[in-house]
Amino acid sequence: MKRFLYILFIIPVCLLSVLTMVYLYSSNVPLFIIKNIKIKGMEQLQDSEIMGRISPFIKDSIFNIDIPKIKDVVLSHPFVKDVRIKRIFPFSIVIDVQEKKPAALWADNKGNIMILDEHGEPYRALTKGAVKDMFIINTPEKDDIRDILKEIELWFSEGLIKKDDISEVVCRDNNITLFLVQDGIEIILGKEDLKKRLKRAQVVLEDAKKRGLLIKCIDARFEQGAIIQERRV
């Protein structure tokens, strides 16, 4: 008897709850009002830049926000690589932004300097305070940037040279020249066998240090050795 009475009680309560949720979801009653929007993962962007883009698509109720549209407008920002958006019931939205990573600088033939992402794509202008552990790729041809950066990143991964050691990479007519942070030493690598020539230049540089020589330039384009130019004191 008690079980029967319990069932008679619980069924109407469940039905009423379901009907209430259906009504609230389908109506404009702002029960689940958005009270908090949390933006994470940003170092280059300001919260205001994202809020300005998404504000037209933020509705009163957490149920009514257009997540695909918000994602599209955030991804349209040139600094953004990816974004994840989720509702945190009952009052919050979390926007997790993945920014493009600055990898190097690019100086074009007009002297403009842009920041490159990890794929060698220019995505933002150089601003004050933006330079940190980045070398310059100096080439007039935008199409060459990706290949140059890929080659240099390979040198880093194989331990041929450290990122902090390079100040500038110059490419003219497919000829590669490095300028080192240390005393602005110039290393001419040319067009081919770049890794082999870089290794040869490193050996020459180490030998010069042991002998107390001040090096200005190493031309590593020769099969049997390299030509060095000493710095005048």
Which of 109, 135, 131, 105 has the alpha carbon at shortest distance from 117? 105
Residue 29 has pLDDT above 90, yes or no: no
pLDDT of residue 3: 58
Q: What is the mean pLDDT of residues 23-32?
A: 53
pLDDT tens-digit profile of 97-112? 999 999 999 988 788 8
Give the architecture-level CATH label for domain 30-99.
Roll (3.10)
Strands 136-138 and 104-107: parallel
pLDDT of residue 194: 96
Residue 2 has pLDDT above 70, yes or no: no
pLDDT of residue 162: 94
142 Cβ contact list (under 8 Å, min separation 6) = 106, 108, 122
Instruction: Output the six-digit token pair for 89.
Output: 């019931």
Instruction: Output the six-digit token pair for 120.
Output: 């060698």
Q: What is the mean pLDDT of residues 145-157?
A: 95
Residue type for position 16 = L
Terminal-to-terminal C-alpha distance of the chain: 106
pLDDT tens-digit profile of 69-83? 999 999 999 999 999
Q: What is the mean pLDDT of residues 196-224?
A: 92
Give domain limits for the chain: 30-99, 101-172, 186-233
Q: Which of 14-18, 81-85, 162-166 has the lowest mean pLDDT?
A: 14-18
Q: Say what the pTM is.
A: 0.78
Are 65 and 33 contacting, i.e. CB atoms less than 8 angstroms apart? no
Strands 225-230 and 215-222: antiparallel
Q: Which position has the token pair 């180490």?
A: 206
Half-sphere exposure in the Cβ direction for 152 (13 Å, CA): 29
pLDDT tens-digit profile of 40-61? 999 999 999 999 999 888 876 7
Determine the Cα–Cα distance for residues 215 and 232; give it in Å rounded to an integer.
Answer: 9
Residue 132 has pLDDT above 80, yes or no: no
Residue 230 has pLDDT above 80, yes or no: yes
